[in-house]
Amino acid sequence: MDESPTDREVSVALVDYGLGNLRSATRGLERAGASVEITDDPAAFAAADGVVLPGVGAFREGMENAGPLREALTDHAEAGRPLFGICLGMQMLLTTSEEADHEGEGEVTGLDLVPGTNVRFDVDRKVPHMGWNELDVSRDHPIVEGVDGEHAYFVHSYYAAPDDADAVVATADYGVDFPAVVANEAGNVFGTQFHPEKSGETGLKILRNFVDYCAEQ
């Protein structure tokens, strides 16, 4: 198995806001060559080479739990530093989600780092979309280096619909082509709808790409 080409250990702050697969994400990042600190301390975000925002669950609960960290996450991103959202964490990078409206909870504002909304699957297939699906890389970005045509593991009922089509880095097909990877215009804020920590060698490649990207910044 190839090792990550980084010359030094990369430090990653894994955001602990009560909704995430912290243990499996930590293992995956460590396998990719990172030193991981699970934290809710904004000072740790500033000290780390990169920040990972994991997430499992509902958009409203995610934003409410992460509310005290909103400013720190936004500052980190606006400083041009790497921020990687996973699953719900990716959806939280966007502006809004239909999920709160669907549940009768009204509008909830996301981090608005990748402008757009999250919409519910409206397909003649079982929802949530759960299982392995093929990645179709739409454009170049360091996070997807070497994974075009590979398969990743998804569990979700909503998907990102960015305002700017160029924000879509890779797609997958589930009755509709939906964004599997998104990124902001600067490229330092990005997310995967799938779980790289559950996606075998493909996921490990994604995590190594992230670690390498952090090392180069």
- 214 carries an active-site annotation: no
Question: What CATH number did the domain enclosing 39 receive?
Answer: 3.40.50.880
Q: How far is CA 23 from the centre of its chain?
A: 16
pLDDT of 198 reads 96
Does residue 2 form part of some domain? no
* Predicted pLDDT at 3: 46
Q: Look at residue 197 and tell me if it is in a domain.
A: yes
Point out the residues of the chain with pLDDT beneath 70. 1-7, 100-106
Q: What one-character-per-residue DSSP string does 28-47 give?
A: HHHHTTEEEEEE--HHHHHH
Instruction: Provide the sign of the torsion angle of the four alpha carbons 117, 121, 127, 129, taken in this order.
Output: negative
Q: Are 25 and 52 in contact (CB under 8 A)?
A: yes
In a domain, 136, yes or no: yes
* Catalytic position from the list 76, 151, 156, 195: 195
Q: How far apart are CA 208 and CA 217, in angstroms?
A: 14
Whether 87 sits among the annotated catalytic residues: the reply is yes
Q: If we measure between CA atoms, which residue out of 111, 94, 76 comes closest to residue 217?
A: 76
Answer yes or no: 129 catalytic: no
Of the residues 87, 129, 156, 214, only one is catalytic, namely: 87
Q: Which of 61, 129, 197, 214 is catalytic?
A: 197
Would you say residue 94 lies in a domain?
yes
Give residue 204's domain range.
8-214
Residue 71: per-residue pLDDT: 96
Domain tally for the chain?
A: 1
pLDDT computed for residue 108 by the predictor? 85
Q: What is the pLDDT of residue 101?
A: 63
* Residue 3 within a domain: no
* CB burial of residue 186 (10 Å; 0-12, 13-18, 19+): exposed
pLDDT on residue 217: 87
Q: What is the pLDDT of residue 161?
A: 98
Q: 142 preceded by cis ω (within 30°)?
A: no
Is 146 part of a structural domain of the chain? Answer: yes
1 occurs within a structural domain? no
For position 156, what pLDDT does the model report? 96
pLDDT of 112-150, one tens digit each?
A: 999 999 999 999 999 999 999 999 999 999 999 999 999
Residue 66 included in any domain: yes
Q: Give dist(CA 27, CA 190) in Å, integer.
A: 20
